[in-house]
Structure 1
Amino acid sequence: MTTHKPSEAQSNDDSGPGDLPANSAGARSARRKVYAATVAAALGGLLFGFDTSVINGAVNSIQSTFSLDPAILGFTIAITLLGCTVGAWFAGQLADVWGRRPVMVLAACLFVISSIGSGFAFAVWDLMAWRIIGGLAIGIASVIAPAYIGEIAPARLRGGLSSLQQLAITLGIFLALLSDAGMARFAGGADSQLWWGLDAWRWMLLVGVIPAVVYGILSLRIPESPQYLIRRGRKEEALAVIANVTGAADPEQRYKDIEESIESERRSTYRDLRGHAFGLQPILWIGIGMAAFQQLVGINAIFYYSTTLWQSVGFSQQDSFTTSVFTATINVLLTLVAIFFVDRVGRKKLLLAGSVGMFIGLVAAAISFAQASGSGTNITLPAPWGPIALLGANLFVICFAATWGPVMWVVLGEVFPNKMRGIALGVATAFNWIFNFLVTLLFPIMSHAVGLGFVYAGFAFFAALSFWFVKALLPEVSGLELEDKSKLTRR
């Protein structure tokens, strides 16, 4: 497989193939428009992060309110991810039929419904039902945002703009944990009443309505993807988006390139994913592997259970909330580092460095928790292992946030050929949610059964495997237009 190196002229003016010169008036106008469209689409990522992490501060309250054992509690938290899997699986198909924008609006509506229903849940089965609906919305948003951004952004900006999806996810996580901490502090505890006779943990879930409404409104104001418009034969609209948003110097030629790569006479189906590598196209297996490893390293064990985790090793409830917010802040700041470096260093190098750093942090956490005494939620860490566990967990978050967190979504948004992108991205993202579900469901059960030391050792093992996977199998395709990548993947 070959890689693309920009010519000297392209390097000097920071333009990709077919782009307007970066400092021209047309390019500046297009850049503003593509930034605005990207930010609006990436708000789906903010809701993705918010809705998956807001449960963190409510876990103990949900357990006590509905009298749940660890297995049922784990399933209640994880059931959202089953909805995510279904939403992600069908999102690509819906986007190819309805368009990217209408599917974003659908996700926003589902977010609103889920937040209201979860906040007023009267039984555990009722809460599970609303969390499944929220999962459908999260799954849809997790597919549509990278697909849309990958299609709307010019090659020279795509890595950084696609990383905004992960930045939005981390901001959503941060805002969720910050609002959880603020409400718990204001009410005097997550189980205490806050406003209108509702407990603080219920308000933690209800507040998700606000970003969902903003996302829905902004989704109605962004341009449709040129790839979708071309598939539907809407040439004039597609040319307008290509010229005014993507900043192509020759919109007609870019239109022809996209049209050729899509093979617009036939809509993609699951048959397009078939290949000789265990029944699927090799590039799809790479996407599935990337999606799986991002979860198997255990990142969501940190963000779904961190408050409960730190309480279990001696932190007070308020200190646990504060520690979780601090970890989420690190997550946001280091994602900014990834956005800066992803187009300069390349996807593959960042991922390899991230795998090494995650492995070191997880090993430190595993060794620390292996020193714990007690069982269940009543365990303690002798000095100096508590601070070492905290440092190891945060080193892991730092390395994940700067590499695997955003870069995996960049890779999924751009590595598939145009023709199969929507459906292949849906399949790969569905696997991401499947493994997210398994990790989330099994974490409290395995922690209770074998101890946190062994659980974190397992995460470290998968971090080591992720290094081998990227080094051996992932192609480096930074700097190519989507149409060029389609040609490479067919070689």
Structure 2
Amino acid sequence: MQPKSTINLIYLSLIILTATIGGFLFGFDTAVISGTIGFVKKQYGMAPLMEGWFVSSALLGCMIGVAISGKLGNTLGRKKVMLLSAFLFVISAWGCAFAQDAVVLIVFRLIGGVGIGVASAICPMYIAELSPSQLRGKLVTFYQLAITIGILVAYFSNAKIQTSLAIALPTSGWVDLLFVKEVWRGMFAIGIIPAVVFLLMLMLIPESPRWLALKNRTAEAEKILTKISNVEYAKVEMEGIQNSFKDETVTKLTDLFKGAYKKPMAIGILLAALSQFSGINAIIYYGPSILEAAGFKLGDALGGQVTIGIVNTLFTFVAIYFVDRIGRKPLLLWGIGGAVLSLLFASVLFITNLSNGWMVLMPIIFFIACFSFSFGAVTWVVISEIFPTKVRSEAVAISTVSLWIANWVVGQFFPLLLHNYGPAFTFFIFALCSAYAFFLSWKKIPETKGQSLEDIEEFWCLQSASN
């Protein structure tokens, strides 16, 4: 266990705020597309399969980003990889805003996806590695909060640009193009601002002390830990970190699926994938389409999407408050259980033709609320803390790849499912996947509340030795 210590809240807050901007950009870039689909689809005459590719091209980029983040994170360090993601966010937002055709637009969406993938693997892991154990769950959950705020800002931004922003702006040149003639370009362009802020703030934060220790730069690591708290805290932490390096060494990727690493890898991969097969990003990406199918006009549908975004943000605070009080497991069980019920209710509404108007928003909002304090927040906490330091970068990357593969599958094939089988069947499939996630959380995932990262590593080693 970590020693009780006085935390340097100003320094730690700067670190956490900066890393969570990566989550904000993740959320913004993920959700901004929901407001552009209708406009881009009409402008370029996209069929359902092409529409799916427009959405999922960024997800393919995410998989590429995550795949390279593991090796880069261990080789270059966590901070430099976050700098790479910030640079990619800037390039993508600019390129999408001024793309001249659909192919160029998709290429820049792909580049942005690489940035999202890198950030999604490195940022929460970086937060976990710098957080005192008594605060780690809460601080990693701030990353998820930043994602939900990014999503919400994207919804508000999209709605504002579509309805009234152009009235307050001079209508000439590139402003006219972005905010009047082809407003979907303006929706993408807004993302340049937080991306540049992220890039600049990364210059102010330190490297992960656990990565520095892994590279035998112990003096630098201890200096950062001392700055986070005090000398006693730093010495105890360094002793635990260095002791954890004495265990077996991973020499190839397949070693991650053996011995003490086998169970946490299975948990990381399955929990990450199932969080996406719950259908969350079908609602994030295609919310307006779902609501239009339920009888909303496009403008009202975007307004309903804003409501979803607000609920997503508010209920993340439930996770922030409880994750270090009652633990990870109770939040997963209560939230995933509620998600299953809400998805089944939504399916029944569509089957019985009671889904018109605001009625369909009820189960969707309940699902979003349950997802936010369980799948949405706790998944990032779990996959950021269950792996040993020396394999954490690669293991988190593999778990996050599974998340993005599942995300890609949903983004690519949801339009076809919705078109060919209808929303009732689609929501039922999501409910089945969530039911399995409930079983996984109940039977396989251990409680890690209040334990240091090295304590968690020792737990897996003891479990492996006893089997």
Report the Cα distance in structure 1 between the residues aligned to 2:4 and 2:285, rounded to whole angstroms: 42
Residue of structure 2 in register with 1:391 after alignment: 362
**Which is further off, 232-241 or 132-141?**
232-241
Residue of structure 2 in register with 1:328 after alignment: 309
Residue of structure 2 in register with 1:93 after alignment: 71
Of the three residues 370, 376, 400, the one matched with 1:429 is 400
What amino acid does structure 2 have at the position aligned with 1:181? Answer: A
CA contact (8 A) 2:128 2:384 kept: yes
* 1:23-102 superposed matches below 5 A: 27-28=6-7, 30-102=8-80
Report the Cα distance in structure 2 between the residues aligned to 1:153 and 1:436, rounded to whole angstroms: 28
Q: 1:88 to 1:268 in 2, by over 3 A?
A: farther
Report the Cα distance in structure 2 between the residues aligned to 1:231 and 1:263, rounded to whole angstroms: 11
Report the Cα distance in structure 1 between the residues aligned to 2:229 and 2:257, rounded to whole angstroms: 32
CA contact (8 A) 1:364 1:389 kept: no
**Which is further off, 86-95 or 340-349?**
86-95
Q: Does 1:272 align with 2:252?
A: no
**What whole-Å deviation, never above 9, does each CA across 1:14-42 have from its counterpart, x for those lacking one?**
xx62231xxxxxx14x2332122011101
Residue of structure 2 in register with 1:249 after alignment: 232
The alpha carbon displacement at 1:313 in A equals: 2.2
Of the three residues 286, 293, 299, the one matched with 2:274 is 293
The alpha carbon displacement at 1:355 in A equals: 1.3
**Which is further off, 32-41 or 326-335?**
32-41
The alpha carbon displacement at 1:466 in A equals: 1.1
What amino acid does structure 1 have at the position aligned with 2:154? Answer: A
The alpha carbon displacement at 1:482 in A equals: 0.5
CA contact (8 A) 2:93 2:189 kept: yes
Residue of structure 1 in register with 2:382 after alignment: 411
CA contact (8 A) 1:368 1:386 kept: no
Secondary structure at 1:121 match in 2: coil
CA contact (8 A) 2:177 2:183 kept: no
* 1:39-438 superposed matches below 5 A: 39-186=17-164, 195-198=175-178, 199-247=182-230, 249-263=232-246, 269-275=252-258, 281-372=262-353, 382=354, 385-438=356-409
Q: 1:365 to 1:188 in 2, by over 3 A?
A: farther
CA contact (8 A) 2:257 2:265 kept: no
- Unaligned residue ranges in structure 1 (runs of 5+): 1-15, 21-26, 373-381
Q: 1:248 to 1:356 in 2, by over 3 A?
A: farther
Q: Does 1:475 align with 2:446?
A: yes
Report the Cα distance in structure 2 between the residues aligned to 1:478 and 1:230, rounded to whole angstroms: 24
Report the Cα distance in structure 1 between the residues aligned to 2:17 and 2:118, rounded to whole angstroms: 17
Q: Does 1:18 align with 2:18?
A: no
- Unaligned residue ranges in structure 2 (runs of 5+): 463-467
Report the Cα distance in structure 2 between the residues aligned to 1:103 and 1:431, rounded to whole angstroms: 20
Identity of aligned residues (%): 36
**Which is further off, 32-41 or 442-451?**
32-41
Supply the RMSD in Å over aligned alpha carbons. 2.1
**What whole-Å deviation, never above 9, does each CA across 1:121-142 have from its counterpart, x for those lacking one?**
2222211111111110000000
Report the Cα distance in structure 2 between the residues aligned to 1:45 and 1:411, rounded to whole angstroms: 16
**Which is further off, 313-322 or 426-435?**
313-322
What amino acid does structure 1 have at the position aligned with 2:198? Answer: Y
The alpha carbon displacement at 1:200 in A equals: 0.8
CA contact (8 A) 1:154 1:247 kept: no
Q: Does 1:444 align with 2:422?
A: no
The alpha carbon displacement at 1:247 in A equals: 4.7
**TM-score, normalising length: structure 2:** 0.93
CA contact (8 A) 1:54 1:177 kept: yes
**What whole-Å deviation, never above 9, does each CA across 1:270-297 have from its counterpart, x for those lacking one?**
24313169xx722101100110110000
Q: 1:456 to 1:214 in 2, by over 3 A?
A: same
CA contact (8 A) 2:296 2:357 kept: no
Report the Cα distance in structure 2 between the residues aligned to 1:97 and 1:371, rounded to whole angstroms: 55
Aligned residues: 455
The alpha carbon displacement at 1:117 in A equals: 1.0
Report the Cα distance in structure 2 between the residues aligned to 1:155 and 1:294, rounded to whole angstroms: 25
Residue of structure 2 in register with 1:7 after alignment: none
Report the Cα distance in structure 2 between the residues aligned to 1:399 and 1:472, rounded to whole angstroms: 20
Secondary structure at 2:205 match in 1: coil
Residue of structure 2 in register with 1:455 after alignment: 426
**TM-score, normalising length: structure 1:** 0.89
Report the Cα distance in structure 1 between the residues aligned to 2:273 and 2:377, rounded to whole angstroms: 14
